[in-house]
Structure 1
Amino acid sequence: MSVDGWNSLLVLGGIRSGKSEFAESLVADAPTVRYVATAGEGDPEDTEWATRLAAHRARRPGSWTTEETAADPGRLTEVIATAGPNETLLVDDLGGWVSVLLDPAHQPADDRATIAELAAAVRASAARLVLVSPEVGLTLVPTTPLGRAFTDALGETNRAIADACDAAVLVVAGQPAWLKPAAPPRPVVPAQAGPGQAGVPTGPATGQPAAVPGPAEQALPEVLAPAPPPAPAPAPVTEAADWAAPTMALPMVATGLTIQPGMELPMPDDYTGPQAVDRLATLDIPGAGLGALERVVGFAAATQGTPTPVPWSSVRVLLLHGDHAGGASAGAAPGESARRAEQARAGKGALARLAAESGAGLQVVEAPASAAMEDGPALTADQVESALRYGWRLAEQAAEAGVHLLVLAACGAGTEAAAAAVLAATAGAEPPAVLGRVVTERGEFDDVAWMARCAAVRDALHRTRRAARDARDVLAELGGGDIAVATGVLLGATARRVPVLLDGPVGVAAGLVSRDLAGQARHWCLLPDHGGQPAVRLAADVLGLTPLMDLRLDLGEGATALATLPMLRSVLALAAGLPVHPSLRAEDDDDFVEPQPAGPGPATTEPEPTPPPFEPEPTPVEPEFAEPEPAGPGPTTVEPDEPVAVPDSPGRRAD
């Protein structure tokens, strides 16, 4: 389920308002859902009611489980109270529950006490909870005692549950109106506006929509600012000087950026991707095709907006360095992440070597250090805001520099535990299941450190079990600086139509968080490989990203993406450079016959022993095609005593 700022939600609406469909859409991304049905089967002869129940059942995915509570109104309270923190419950609806509550079979009973017990269970529930209820308070007061008892009890139930829930929404004619909390204002970042459109500023290099300038914002913390580039000095003549890639340090630029939930950012082209994949079937390829790598062609075509995409020529790697304190970094050698960052700045190490081999630039980004998540928030709200804006600017600066592809990488201590905490909070994952084992410097497994990391994530999730789950809260409480900067990078890259290669837990965790801010961001991301990491596998499944390969490289975050980059470029080069198969060219388009062929042809070989060029055709249509000027040599340009090669034309007889 997406990060949307609530753990429990009440969905209100009138009859046929679309409230149930809206509630079901909110939990569509959850791995599993327990559907709690409160309504009874009703009168067996009431076919219309049976049809409604059947329609509800048909909409539920096969992975959902259904639990009936119509027999006992106290059963709903029990189900909610015993649900675990990794479960998602959809209760539909409270109107049926109130009907059971008022049934004479359950009287005498203290209805208000039962409603209060249900509200207390909702307030204390650790599960992800969506409750649907009809809103009948806008109608006339019923004229019957039973009708008045129902509306009174339902109104009191709705008030109690709305007070207990984190959020409430009213669905009117299929349109949701958020009641609690209030709907956020619309962002100032423009949606898919074209270059040069009135009122939409564009970037100087790419012509893509830029952020609308706003009031001056506060300076970012010093830890976020990249170090100024050192004075140029002659490179030492060493073996490494031939392949070491320089690290770029970019200046900060004030943009007046506003990042808010629900931003409308550009989407890749819906048509060019399928067109590019369909075009692959027509290419002159001796084998069966590109296999799973066809998705690379479709992704590049959609993000480039053309059915014939070209290989990414300008690539930049953003290496995020930010340590996490506390149990998240258990088992990490002190100072090891800083050494890796300095190594990359010097153009050394696995990541720098792969970047140089791929011709990619490498930029080391210092993210804010994160506090121990088990003791309190990892970041302050101001640090989260600054990190998001800084990541956005990094992507903007890359786009303005002509970068065609970004690669996200990270080297901080404790990043795996922070990503596991984000995954558990946003997708309902079990931390031990998504937290990879700790490997020491000697290549040995440190299970004690792994248990310490699991305990830190568990304690952090318990501490925040009743906290809001919107993007900023998740980043502040659990994610930390590197994931916050990575989230800003994804949003900024989406705004500037720059695709991103994800590689490792930090990138996929940022992808999960970015859904609450802009759902379009994940469509600009490509996952070359899962690296054998369980967190990446599960996050990719939630994001809808299918890894292209299964190499299981473990060279550090970002290295796998760079290792696969030459292959991805080769696939795009083939897709863009190979011609259409000759059989399809001759049949579909005569324009392809005119270019000089790669092998022997009529211009370089002796003419084939064909029938005389001027032999009358047996068909009666020859006079129609003899009058126009021929495309190649003919009787008007060639001496009569020379043999003539007959060009392929619509009037030529089939051999």
Structure 2
Amino acid sequence: MSEDRWNTVLVLGGIRSGKSGFAESLVAGAPSVRYVATAAGGEDDPEWRARIEAHQRRRPQSWTTEETGSDPALLIELLRSAEPGETLLVDDLGGWVAEVLNPARQPNDDEADVAALSSAVRETAARVVLVSPEVGLSLVPLTPVGRAFTDALGTTNQALAGACDGVVLVVAGQPTWLKGFAAPIDATPAAPAVVEALPTAPVEAVTSRPVAVPTPATPAPPPPPAQPPTVVAPPADAEPEPVRADVLRESTMTLPLVASGLTEIRPGMDLPLPSADSGPDARERLSGLDLPGGGLGALGEAVEFAAATQSTVTPRAWTGARVVVIAGDRAGGAVAGTDSADVERRIAEAERGAGLLGRLAGQAGADISVLRTARTGAMEDGPVADESAVEAALREGWKLADGAADAGRDVIVLAGISAGIEAAATAVLAATTGAEAVATLPRALVPGARFDDAAWMVRCAAVRDALHRIRQEPRGAVDILRQIGGLDVAVATGLLLGAAARRIPVLLDGPLGIAAGLVARDLASQTRHWCLLPELGTLALVRQGADVLGLTPVLEIGLDLGEGANALSVLPVLRAAVGLASALPVHPALLGEVGDDGLDDGLDGGLDGDLSEFAEPEPHGPGPASPGV
């Protein structure tokens, strides 16, 4: 049984009751659906053919259709061979029962066929929704054949009702659940109730404290709640699960191993890349969808990114987000004008699942993991951290990505609440790209939406002195982190590397994400292809860093809510765009004829179609190269 407590559902209803439409709504959010059609015939019945075409036009182009036709055993075979990740919609069992009773198959043990179907439904590993007519409420048929069909269908419905997790009766388009309850597949994000405690790095390097935010109960994100969302904390006597010694030896990792048993993080790592074809193909597919007006516009960037990272032209909307909040601290001029108490308050709110990040995460159905790093030194005075602490922080970030992958998260939102991160990110940008620090360092914003220009000048001086100090120093990734980046940037860099290794997309915004992206690029250039910039924001630092990384922002609406909050704010919009791109069919005007799903019957049917219109015409006379001319 799946996380939302159902694998199989039986949908009952009379003729034109809306049962098929309701069944389709249950699986509308699945990445792909195998539609199993049981109806046979119709070649000489225009009205029956029109019914079939009406069903075809409702199906998304991403669905595949399989017909059981006149072989009832084929449906049983499909159910038994279905894989755990598949979704099947069988419509409907009336056609299946009619073929079971087909005189051409008699004599036959019809009850054995029904028992075999019931057993296949009970044992299938896939998601299955079965549609069946409810004929028990009508008059008893006058003919023996009609009575046999009614009895057989009633017996079949009873057997499958006992085998399914849920049973629903649809009357006049209104569903009434008779057994269980099944939410649509994309209604509830698959998030665990509690995030396991993260392991700590060596002393003085990194410490962490995870929290979780409850998943909303409704399909659409609710408006901001009046009260902060409730946090489900681990039991007081629960011990964090220890990290296995081979935690980085999973088959999804592609990095070389060293004698210590941990993956060596070094320049030139070979990490996976998203699909080079799926993204552009998905972007091109948008032009043919049944969308009004000019389509999705800039949101097509999110669709292309999702398609590339999922290696499919019909990507599914992200349902399991994890917000990773990295909380750091610094000394020196980088933190000039910073209210340390206010920073600590925001970190504590995130640890409780409260505050802005907690509310936005609750609306998005995301969980939160907060990780605190040790305080780093003043960049203008000397290296901000030693090499061993930087390496430990990189590994800790990698483990954060591992934890998200192991928990089934399908997207990571990188957030930061770090004192002095603006100055550190500016120094990283200047040191790695040659950017002018004064032009990119954000102004010092203090509580009350006021700017402290005196503090900004102190920060500028700190960045200037740090860059002058390292002018003769090596500029490798670890060197940059050790000299000016700090442990919070190191953890974020490790997170990007681990996410790329585990093929998890990351949503960035703000200075921390940009700085980590620039450093990670020098360790493994593949990481930037797993990153998306949902909202550009207002900072020149982010704009210039994103341009260097080749990240095209999806939206440019000028949000300035803080790191991670911008991405969480627009996440519902991105989900809606990706979901539409997957679910909507091709525009009817682009179909060759009504009901053909955009495919020519002759070409789609193999070599049996009429290809005469493609045949090369016979010449009416000798051509210029003909002999004897």
Name the TM-score class by shorter chain. Answer: 0.5 to 0.7
1:406 is paired with a residue whose SS is: strand
Q: Do structure 1's residue 539 and structure 2's residue 552 form an aligned pair? A: no
Q: Do structure 1's residue 507 and structure 2's residue 489 form an aligned pair? A: no
Q: What are the residue-to-residue correspondences of 1:190-339 with 2, within 5 Å?
A: 220-221=202-203, 224-227=206-209, 243-244=229-230, 246=232, 251=241, 253=243, 254=245, 255=247, 256-339=262-345
- Structure 2: distance between partners of 1:432 and 1:588: 62
| Structure-2 residue corresponding to 1:405 | 411
Q: CA deviation at 1:257?
A: 2.0
Q: What are the residue-to-residue correspondences of 1:630-641 with 2, within 5 Å?
A: none
Residues 531 and 551, structure 1, Cα contact 8 Å, conserved in 2: yes
Q: What are the residue-to-residue correspondences of 1:3-22 with 2, within 5 Å?
A: none
C-alpha spacing 1:348/1:229, structure 2 compared with 1 (3 Å): closer
Aligned residues with identical type, % of pairs? 53
Match 2:498 to one of 470, 474, 492: 492
1:362 is paired with a residue whose SS is: strand
- Between structure 1 and structure 2, the one with the greater Rg is 1
Deviations 1:584-643 (A, max 9, x none): 23359725799xxxxxxxxxxxxxxxxxxxxxxxxxxxxxxxxx9xxxxxxxxxxxxxxx
Query: What stretches of structure 2 of length at least 5 have no aligned partner?
Result: 1-189, 191-198, 215-224, 248-261, 601-607, 614-629
TM-score by length of 1: 0.54
Q: CA deviation at 1:439?
A: 1.5
Q: Write the letter of the residue equivalent to 2:229.
A: W
- Structure 1: distance between partners of 2:336 and 2:466: 15
- Structure 2: distance between partners of 1:362 and 1:519: 27
Residues 321 and 364, structure 1, Cα contact 8 Å, conserved in 2: yes
2:413 is paired with a residue whose SS is: strand
Residues 323 and 337, structure 1, Cα contact 8 Å, conserved in 2: no
Residues 370 and 378, structure 1, Cα contact 8 Å, conserved in 2: yes
Q: Write the letter of the residue equivalent to 1:400.
A: D
Query: What stretches of structure 1 of length at least 5 have no aligned partner?
Result: 1-204, 206-216, 233-238, 595-627, 629-649, 651-655
Residues 209 and 351, structure 2, Cα contact 8 Å, conserved in 1: no
Q: CA deviation at 1:334?
A: 2.3
Q: Write the letter of the residue equivalent to 1:411.
A: I
Q: Do structure 1's residue 361 and structure 2's residue 400 form an aligned pair? A: no
Q: Write the letter of the residue equivalent to 1:438.
A: A
Match 1:457 to one of 453, 463, 466: 463
- Structure 1: distance between partners of 2:200 and 2:324: 24
| Structure-2 residue corresponding to 1:380 | 386
Choose 372-381 or 248-257, whichever is displaced more.
Answer: 248-257
- Structure 1: distance between partners of 2:376 and 2:453: 23
Choose 450-459 or 328-337, whichever is displaced more.
Answer: 328-337
- Structure 1: distance between partners of 2:597 and 2:552: 39
TM-score by length of 2: 0.57
Q: Write the letter of the residue equivalent to 1:314.
A: G
Residues 421 and 511, structure 2, Cα contact 8 Å, conserved in 1: yes
| Structure-2 residue corresponding to 1:466 | 472
C-alpha spacing 1:373/1:242, structure 2 compared with 1 (3 Å): closer
C-alpha spacing 1:327/1:288, structure 2 compared with 1 (3 Å): same
Residues 246 and 346, structure 1, Cα contact 8 Å, conserved in 2: no
| Structure-1 residue corresponding to 2:149 | none
- Structure 1: distance between partners of 2:333 and 2:200: 32
C-alpha spacing 1:588/1:486, structure 2 compared with 1 (3 Å): farther
Residues 201 and 207, structure 2, Cα contact 8 Å, conserved in 1: no
Q: CA deviation at 1:244?
A: 4.0
Residues 321 and 337, structure 1, Cα contact 8 Å, conserved in 2: no
Deviations 1:426-482 (A, max 9, x none): 010111111111112122211110000000000001111000000000000000011
Deviations 1:474-527 (A, max 9, x none): 000000011000000000000000000001000011000011110000000000
Q: Write the letter of the residue equivalent to 1:362.
A: I
Q: CA deviation at 1:273?
A: 0.6
C-alpha spacing 1:242/1:433, structure 2 compared with 1 (3 Å): closer
| Structure-2 residue corresponding to 1:50 | none
Deviations 1:527-562 (A, max 9, x none): 012211011011001001111112222211100000
Residues 201 and 396, structure 2, Cα contact 8 Å, conserved in 1: no
Residues 309 and 505, structure 2, Cα contact 8 Å, conserved in 1: yes
- Count how many residue pairs are aligned between Structure 1 and Structure 2: 374
Match 1:578 to one of 576, 580, 584: 584
| Structure-2 residue corresponding to 1:168 | none
Residues 247 and 363, structure 1, Cα contact 8 Å, conserved in 2: no
Match 1:481 to one of 477, 481, 487: 487
C-alpha spacing 1:305/1:460, structure 2 compared with 1 (3 Å): same
1:512 is paired with a residue whose SS is: helix
Q: CA deviation at 1:376?
A: 0.7
Q: What is the RMSD computed on CA atoms of the aligned residues? A: 2.7
Residues 273 and 301, structure 1, Cα contact 8 Å, conserved in 2: yes
Residues 331 and 376, structure 2, Cα contact 8 Å, conserved in 1: yes
C-alpha spacing 1:453/1:227, structure 2 compared with 1 (3 Å): same
2:499 is paired with a residue whose SS is: helix
| Structure-2 residue corresponding to 1:566 | 572
Q: CA deviation at 1:250?
A: 6.7
Q: CA deviation at 1:369?
A: 1.5
- Structure 2: distance between partners of 1:219 and 1:286: 52
